Amino acid sequence: MKTTMKIIIYLLFIIPFFALSQQNSFSENLFTDYETYKESSITQRMFKHSDIQPLIEKLKLEKGFRVVTLGKSIQGRTISMISIGNGATNVLLWSQMHGDESTATMAIFDIFNYLKKNKEILNNVTLHFIPMLNPDGAEVFKRRNAIGIDINRDALRLQSPESRILKMARDSVQADFGFNLHDQSKYYNAEQTNKPATISYLAPAYNYEKDINETRGNAMKIIVEMNDIIQKYTPGQVGRYSDEFEPRAFGDNIQKWGTSTILVESGGYKDDPEKQFIRKLNFVSLLGAIHSISTNNYKNTSINKYLEIPKNDRKLFDIKLTNVTFQYLEKKYTVDLGINMAQMNSKDQNNSNPIGYLREIGDLSTYYGYENIDAKNMTFKIGKTYPKILSSLDEIENLNFETLLQDGYTTVAMDHIPDELIFTKYPVKFIAVNDIMITRDNTIPKSPLQLGSQPTFLLTKNEELYYAIINGVVYEFGK
């Protein structure tokens, strides 16, 4: 073989590897240096238009940033587009089309801080960001806009100004790539695994046949690149959405209009209720994707790797209890329980306490839990009601809750329940005297585990208390 031939073959092998390692170190540095870029004024996922407007105003003074007002939401809040760079490839990123899906909006403001200092990534691209497309929804932290329309089902009728703004922005910049940034329920998992789908992706179909043309194929390749990044930090925690064609959705239509469209859904991550770690993953993987577009690295990847990403499933509970054996009408039943947590806010919104709802009963062997408790060999006990009826908060303060639970009391009756106790941090269930159930002789009592209720019971082993489940919240006692 001629030497030149050898060199060419060598280069053919080495160039993709070089590109890959370059991409790796780029995202690794972003991960390490994240705190340098994190927008410190946003610290939790409920924030409003008025919180981001000052940040957008400041960007107007920043070199290289162009801010345009695209229009106004139904209630009159401005929707802005921030553009950076002058490269030939146009990339459009929009977030929070659903008002309560704010993770990527947080990441976008981190990305702005990165771009203030780092312009190399802009060599071949022009970036256009629309953070918070649905500010009216964000105001009340709800999915839909002010007239109750799901903007993601309004891509054809364009009845909402927010929808028209997105369509207009896509058309005016003739975006080559589009990032459709959402949040999904934390109960999604990667199919047949106990791993939450911390991030899920979709290259939406543009027709019912789910054909793959160059536009959609390129979106798949970008997803492969993003998946490689996320897998490093949360192995196995990526899902791929079903690509059923939805003719009314924006992702599907923008793909159809010729923009390679990538749907990103931020899901759940253990012990990250404010989604700050997932925000960081968005920061790293979105910049990674932009880097890949700018360098054309994604062209070296294969669409097949997209199809290998596990499917999204929805089989997670916050708490899964297995092998709970309870008695009802003198017979025994063994079931698994799925409990999901919610936060109950006090009237003044200053206090918030967890509460758990029983969402599934039965054979949950195909389901998973963020927390898992095996109740095998434990005895299920319905707690007793404390014999003394209490009248004041002081009396409650004087109770020894641990002793109460050890003695089998889960419930305390009161003359009337003060507001402060409705969403209580105390590990007992409070009931008003009037609510004490009187079982008449001729009525069949209800099973102790009611779907949709806040379950309250005890689990013991050899007469020793292991778990108290009070209003769906688990308190652990066993050693």
Chain residues in the site for Zn ion (CB under 5 A)? 98, 101, 182
3-state secondary structure of 33: coil
What does DSSP say about strands 409-414 and 352-362: parallel, antiparallel, or unpaired? unpaired
CB of 59 to Zn ion, least distance (A): 25
CB of 81 to Zn ion, least distance (A): 20
Query: Is residue 165 within 8 Å of residue 70, measured between CB atoms?
Result: yes
What does DSSP say about strands 260-266 and 368-374: parallel, antiparallel, or unpaired? unpaired
**How far is the C-alpha of 236 from the C-alpha of 410, rounded, in Å?**
40
Helices (H) and strands (E) in the chain, counts: 13, 21
Q: What is the DSSP letter of 447?
A: P
CB of 358 to Zn ion, least distance (A): 27
The strand pairing partners of 371, in sequence order, are 319
Report the half-sphere exposure of 40 (CA within 13 A, side-chain side): 2
Nearer to Zn ion, 48 or 116 (CB): 48
- A 10 A CB-CB count for 343 gives 11
Nearer to Zn ion, 28 or 274 (CB): 274
Nearer to Zn ion, 267 or 338 (CB): 267
**How far is the C-alpha of 410 from the C-alpha of 318, rounded, in Å?**
22
* Residue type, position 323, single letter: N
CB of 97 to Zn ion, least distance (A): 6
CB of 244 to Zn ion, least distance (A): 16
Nearer to Zn ion, 266 or 411 (CB): 266
Nearer to Zn ion, 48 or 232 (CB): 48
CB of 360 to Zn ion, least distance (A): 24
CB of 181 to Zn ion, least distance (A): 9
Closest by CA position to 23, among listed 348, 230, 298, 410? 298
Nearer to Zn ion, 180 or 218 (CB): 180
Tokens 């269930």 found at: 429
Query: Is residue 312 within 8 Å of residue 239, measured between CB atoms?
Result: yes
Strands (E), 57-192: 65-72, 78-84, 89-95, 125-130, 177-183, 189-190
Please list, in sequence order, all residues whose beta carbon lies within 8 angstroms of the beta carbon of residue 211, skipping any fewer than 6 positions away. Answer: 205
Nearer to Zn ion, 39 or 101 (CB): 101
CB of 379 to Zn ion, least distance (A): 44
CB of 45 to Zn ion, least distance (A): 14
- Tokens of residue 150, six digits: 């799901």
Nearest residue to Zn ion, scored by beta-carbon proximity: 182
Nearer to Zn ion, 98 or 221 (CB): 98
Nearer to Zn ion, 101 or 162 (CB): 101
CB of 250 to Zn ion, least distance (A): 10
3-state secondary structure of 79: strand
Phi, psi of 241 (to 5 degrees): -70, 150
Nearer to Zn ion, 176 or 313 (CB): 313
CB of 134 to Zn ion, least distance (A): 9
CB of 198 to Zn ion, least distance (A): 16
Nearer to Zn ion, 139 or 371 (CB): 139
**CA-derived radius of gyration, the chain:** 27
Nearer to Zn ion, 249 or 469 (CB): 249
